[in-house]
Amino acid sequence: MSGPNTDYDPVEVTPLKPEEVEAARDAALAAIAAAADLDELKQVRIEHTGDRSPLALANREIGALPPAARKEAGQRIGQARGAVNQALAARQEVLEAEHEQRMLVEETVDVTLPTDRVPTGARHPLTTGSELIADIFVAMGWEVAEGPVIEAEWLNFDALNLGPDHPARTMQDTFWTDPPEDHLVLRTHTSPVQARTMLSRTPPIYVVCPGRVFRTDEYDATHSPVFHQVEGLAVDEGITMAHLKGTLDHFAAQMFGEGISTRFRPSYFPFTEPSAEVDLVCFVCRGAGKLDGATCRTCRGEGWIEWGGCGVVNPRVLTACGVDAERYTGFAFGMGIDRTLMFRHGIEDLRALFEGDVRFTTAFGTEL
Amino acid sequence: MKAPVSWIREYVDLPADVTTDELTRRLTALGLKLEGVESAGAGISGPLVVGRVLTMEPEPQKNGKTINWCTVDVGAANGTGEPQGIVCGAHNFAPGDLVVVILPGGVLPGNFEISARKTYGHLSAGMICSARELGLGDDHDGIIVLPADAGEPGDDAFDVLGLREEVIEFEINPDRAYALSLRGIAREAALAFGAPFRDPADRPVPAPNDAGYPVFVDDPAGCPVFVARTVTGLDPAAPTPDWMARRLQQAGMRPISLAVDVTNYVMLETGRPIHGYDADKLAGPIRVRRAREGERLRTLDGTDRVLSPEDLVVTDDSGIIGLGGVMGGETTEMSDTTTNVLVEAAHWDPVSMFRTGKRHKISSEAGKRNERGVDPVITPAAADRVVELLVTYGGGTADPGVTVVGSPPPQPRITISYDLPARVTGIAIDAATTVANLEAVGCTLDKADSTLTATPPPWRPDLVDPFDLVEEVARIVGYDRVPSVLPREAAGRGLSREQRLRRRVGRTLAGAGCVEVISFPFVGDAAFDALGLPADDPRRHTVRLANPLSSEEPSYTTTLLPGLLKAAARNIGRGATGVSLFETGTVAFPVDRGPAPIYGVDWRPSDDELAKLFDAIPEQPLYLAVVLAGERERAGWWGGGRAAGWSDAVALVRRLGTELGLDVEVSASTRAPWHPGRCAQLAVAGEPIGYAGELHPKVCQAFGLPARSAAVELDLDALMRRARDVVPGPEFSTYPLAKEDVALIVANDVPAADVEAALREGAGPLLESVRLFDVYTGDQVGEGRKSLAFALRFRAPDRTLTEEETAAARDAAVALAAERTGAVQRS
């Protein structure tokens, strides 16, 4: 029925006067700027933007204005409140950043304090060393074969062309179980594992056999009655000494670094023929024998390090283990893991490996 | 085997400029392993000269000694030509003698520097040397008096005394017995340099006749050749010539008397061991036979030996006079009055020599050669060489009788195809090279179109198989020519399940702060006693060693704990405040299923035979043991430390179980070496696998470990057998969790695990987890009782649980616990 009262003469509303609004806004902005911390700012927020703040109260009056005036007043108030809120947010951000920074400074600790609440564990370097070797061969597609340490004499000796009257038997001072007529020994090498592998599988065979072996040696800095060997055996059609050399060169490079290779010297082992001793290019002086003008300590100036023995599997061994020696040839090699670690890591006394002093073992960490 | 370089050069014309270094390098490349090079004059530096004693004035001293004030002509060696004044304490010389003088500035072994110094009132400018001072032997009876023709005053004494002589020591492999002689080493040197070789055994030998000493060989297989020669009228006082004594010393043998030294010298020269008998002590013909059961002999080392029917013996009418080829008997031994010598050079069966040496534990130079194989053909020549030297240096007469019984065994014939060396070595070796190299090592060849038949020389009994010939060809071609070729890639299956699991176990324990140790697996009663094992404990039933390192530890161990506890104590003793150690290793249990068979090697044993073999081998499971001693967590700025205890030990096993996907069942048990109230038996799926807990206080004391040290030992094989291979992917609900805590009062002896199991079962399928979070004992629960507080967590797969559902499940859990364990819910 009735439209807006366009005749209404606006009543002058004091709080909405521009100068009042500006004053309220300026007071708020000043208070915001003066707030020294987040608590003060909170107070300022209540005072200048809360329900009872001048601008909020002024806003309520807009309804009392005639419609023609509302827009302008609304804009005026809105701008003022916007400016205040913006200033508040900005100040809030600054104060929060300050607060955080102060807090972080206050929370500073001495990070150099010790943290060794639970002491570190470690696996034995002989274990991790054996695994390193195993991994090198597994990467070539070989497998890791294992067997018992108390072994049948026939497997430890006879099957390997070490008959009862073979002079080479005395080269390996053997622990026998009691009574010796039981024909059981503590294996003197891991070769019986090779024999077991050939007895139980048909070629192609590519296995490494790491493990614990025994000789009745005196226990000193370089000898131990208990030590560790890794042996390798490949039996396949067309295997030659060249494959043996290739495999050992690869092994040497993986274990000691690129460019470290091997050389062969004629030797004798009953289970191989031809047989060779394997030397390794000294990985410290790289064959020079000298290091910074002084004699290389690792190879004692030789440029080479004696590493192990190897050769072409004696056909007699293949035959005893049921491998057709007409069709297949093989190669085998063996080296001491303890000794390898000794020169790889500069360990002076072999006995450190067996004493169980945690200071020794933890030095190697959990992998080699 | 020690070989003086000059002796090698006697039989091979090496170029003069070949150094010892070059010689050893080439011999090494041929397979003679170098042990070392020593030089007789090592440690001496000049001026060391020949001097002639001009005057000597004995001067008694206050201390009772008499010194000689000498003047010695040292030619121009002292720079002045004037006689040198020297004080000398020895008296075994006279003016006019040639002696060895070291002048001021010289150095004797032991870094003993010589200078002119005031002594006994004279300025003594140098020293007259004894053999001992020069490191040439133990003779300290006086100074060295040189033969009158040794040289002129001022001559360098190094050469006169052979001090520049280098001696190469080789380690001779068992297959190269021929290199246990200068003849053999020189032959290799000739091969190495392509130089002419003069065989010292190649000499005219008188023909055998019937006039020699009578010898009968009853066992020609054991003694195929026996040569006897006689030398009469020896001067027992005739000295061994200096050159021979020096060479024997250089070769590591002690000069004894001319007759003995000559036999040793010829052995070194030719490789053929020789035995000399005092001919006057022989009675009747010599007979070689096997010993009879129970026969005895006192060998010349003074040992009484009971002989075996396998032993080859030399006899005369008096009985047994020697252990053939191994050691002579005492009754016919040569002595310092021996004038007539019977020289025995015989070829013996190597296997018999090896067995006799082993049986009687005799390791002699003769035995070493005879058991590895000596050239049988040179037997008469070696005997003749001994006769020659005895006649020359002992003033004896060679008896015209020459006894030779038997003949050398025939050599084998080995047939190979021409390309075998190439096929085995991978080196391109042509037929001509194969032929040339086999001939170079002394083989006689029969060359057919496609095959080659070699008859090895008599000094190479090691050459038997085709591959033996391959090695001969290859070592001359040079092992450095072997190419480096990787074999084809093998289709391997990677690490085995067990190998992978073992790595995981090790990493888990290391991750839990444990350090791995490796101990010797030997054990004895002392360790079992220290562990408190009862007398009938199966762990005392061990695999014993026939020849243990120590009689204290005569067995292969049945438990890893002794080694581990000792290692822990060692660490504590070295100042560690806490130590956590683990070891994985095989232990052994006897199977007592009779001896392991010995099969032939000419074919593969049958599967049944192999099964029998494997069956006789002791059981050797892989065990795991852990010891936790002292501080497990350290004290520090964060607060106090914590000593290891039984629960740490059990926790480690549970952690391992988690790693392997296994629930480890824990129950109370009693077992040495654990504390009877703090020992947990561990089981997986009902199968016991080991024990964990606190060690018995007496055990800690016995091993010197901190009180309350804890330990684990379990059968790792059994644990790994049960490890889960393929873990099914878990299903889990994302609906909200419902929590219920209950406190249950039970009698003290009720295991918490039983209560937990009852709760778990009673709660039904809605239960997600149950965890004991507190144990309380005290007044509020009453004497002999404990309160166990459990956090129960419920969740349904398909909905949010209502309070009623949760409460019902909780009540059911508590009800079953009450029924099973007498638990009363604490209000």
Q: Can you list the domains of chain A with their CATH numbers?
A: 14-106 (no CATH), 125-362 (3.30.930.10)
The CATH superfamily holding the domain B738-825 is: Ferrodoxin-fold anticodon-binding domain (3.30.70.380)
What local confidence, expressed as pLDDT, does residue A141 receive? 95
CA nearest to B819, candidates B739, B757, B749, B735: B757
What local confidence, expressed as pLDDT, does residue A167 receive? 67
User: pLDDT tens digits, residue range B57-85?
Assistant: 988 888 888 889 999 998 888 888 888 89
CA distance to partner chain A, nearest, from residue B109 (Å): 24
Quick one: average pLDDT of B524-535? 97
Q: Is the pLDDT of residue B42 over 60?
A: yes
User: pLDDT tens digits, residue range A46-87?
Assistant: 998 888 888 888 888 888 888 887 888 888 888 989 999 999
Quick one: average pLDDT of B341-347? 97
Contact B570 A355 (CB under 8 A): yes
- Asked whether the whole model's pTM tops 0.95, one would answer no
Question: Nearest 10 degrees: CA dihedral of B44, B50, B52, B53?
Answer: 10
Mutation choice for B interface testing from A113, A177, A327 by most B CBs within 10 A:
A177
Q: Which of chain A's residues have a Cβ under 8 Å away from the Cβ of B426? A: 240-243, 245
CA distance to partner chain A, nearest, from residue B88 (Å): 42
B30 → closest Cβ in A177, A266, A319: A266
Q: Is the pLDDT of residue A8 over 60?
A: no
Quick one: average pLDDT of B415-423? 96
Quick one: average pLDDT of B95-102? 91
- On whether any CB of chain B is under 8 Å from the CB of A264, the answer is yes
Contact B603 A320 (CB under 8 A): yes
Touching B: A residues 146-175, CB under 8 Å: 146, 148-155, 158-159, 161, 163-168, 170-171, 175
Mutation choice for A interface testing from B374, B468, B601 by most A CBs within 10 A:
B601
User: Within 10 Å of residue B673's Cβ, how many Cβ atoms?
Assistant: 25
Are B48-161 and B215-406 equal in CATH topology?
no
Contact B495 A144 (CB under 8 A): yes
Does the annotation place A273 within a ligand binding site?
yes
Instruction: Assign domain B215-406 to its CATH architecture.
Output: 3-Layer(bba) Sandwich (3.50)
Contact A140 B489 (CB under 8 A): yes
Let me know: does A123 contact B510? Beta carbons within 8 Å. Answer: yes
Question: Which chain A residue's Cα is nearest to B474?
Answer: A274
* pLDDT band at B476; cut points 50, 70, 90: very high
User: pLDDT tens digits, residue range B106-119?
Assistant: 888 888 888 888 88
Let me know: does A269 contact A275? Beta carbons within 8 Å. Answer: yes
Mutation choice for B interface testing from A109, A143, A150 by most B CBs within 10 A:
A150
Q: What are phi and psi of B656, to 5 degrees?
A: -60, -40
Q: Which of chain A's residues have a Cβ under 8 Å away from the Cβ of B371? A: 167
d(CA B706, CA B779): 33
| Residues of chain A above pLDDT 90, percent | 73
Q: What is the mean pLDDT of chain B?
A: 93
Q: Which of chain B's residues have a Cβ under 8 Å away from the Cβ of A202? A: none
Quick one: average pLDDT of B338-355? 95
User: pLDDT tens digits, residue range B440-453?
Assistant: 999 999 999 999 99
Touching B: A residues 14-53, CB under 8 Å: none
Q: Which of chain B's residues have a Cβ under 8 Å away from the Cβ of A211? A: none
Q: What are phi and psi of A152, to 5 degrees?
A: -70, 135
* pLDDT band at A11; cut points 50, 70, 90: low
B547 → closest Cβ in A141, A158, A216: A216
| CATH code for residues B414-478 | 3.30.56.10
What local confidence, expressed as pLDDT, does residue B140 receive? 60
What local confidence, expressed as pLDDT, does residue B690 receive? 97
Q: Is the pLDDT of residue B527 over 70?
A: yes
Q: Which of chain B's residues have a Cβ under 8 Å away from the Cβ of A301? A: none
Contact A123 B423 (CB under 8 A): no
Q: Which of chain B's residues have a Cβ under 8 Å away from the Cβ of A366? A: 507, 510-511
d(CA B42, CA B674): 62
User: pLDDT tens digits, residue range B582-636?
Assistant: 999 999 999 988 899 999 999 999 999 999 999 999 999 999 999 999 999 999 9
What local confidence, expressed as pLDDT, does residue A2 receive? 47
**Which residues have C-beta within 8 Å of that of residue B438, sequence separation ≥ 6?**
B445, B452, B454, B469, B472, B473
Q: Which of chain A's residues have a Cβ under 8 Å away from the Cβ of B511? A: 121, 366
* pLDDT band at B207; cut points 50, 70, 90: very high
Q: Is the pLDDT of residue B718 over 70?
A: yes
Look at domain B497-722 and name its CATH class.
alpha beta
Contact A276 B479 (CB under 8 A): yes
Domain ranges of chain B: 2-40+166-193, 48-161, 215-406, 414-478, 497-722, 738-825
d(CA B72, CA B52): 5
| CATH code for residues B48-161 | 2.40.50.140
Q: Is the pLDDT of residue B137 over 80?
A: no
Instruction: Assign domain B2-40+166-193 to its CATH architecture.
Output: 2-Layer Sandwich (3.30)
- A214 conformational bin, left if phi > 0, alpha if psi -120 to 50, beta if neither: beta
d(CA A156, CA B596): 12
What local confidence, expressed as pLDDT, does residue A89 receive? 94
* pLDDT band at A172; cut points 50, 70, 90: low
Question: Which chain B residue's Cα is nearest to A235?
Answer: B487
Q: Which of chain B's residues have a Cβ under 8 Å away from the Cβ of A111? A: none
State which of A6-10, A134-138, B131-135 shows the largest mean pLDDT. Answer: A134-138
Quick one: average pLDDT of B265-287? 96
Contact A178 B576 (CB under 8 A): no
Quick one: average pLDDT of B799-821? 96
Question: Which chain A residue's Cα is nearest to B369?
Answer: A167
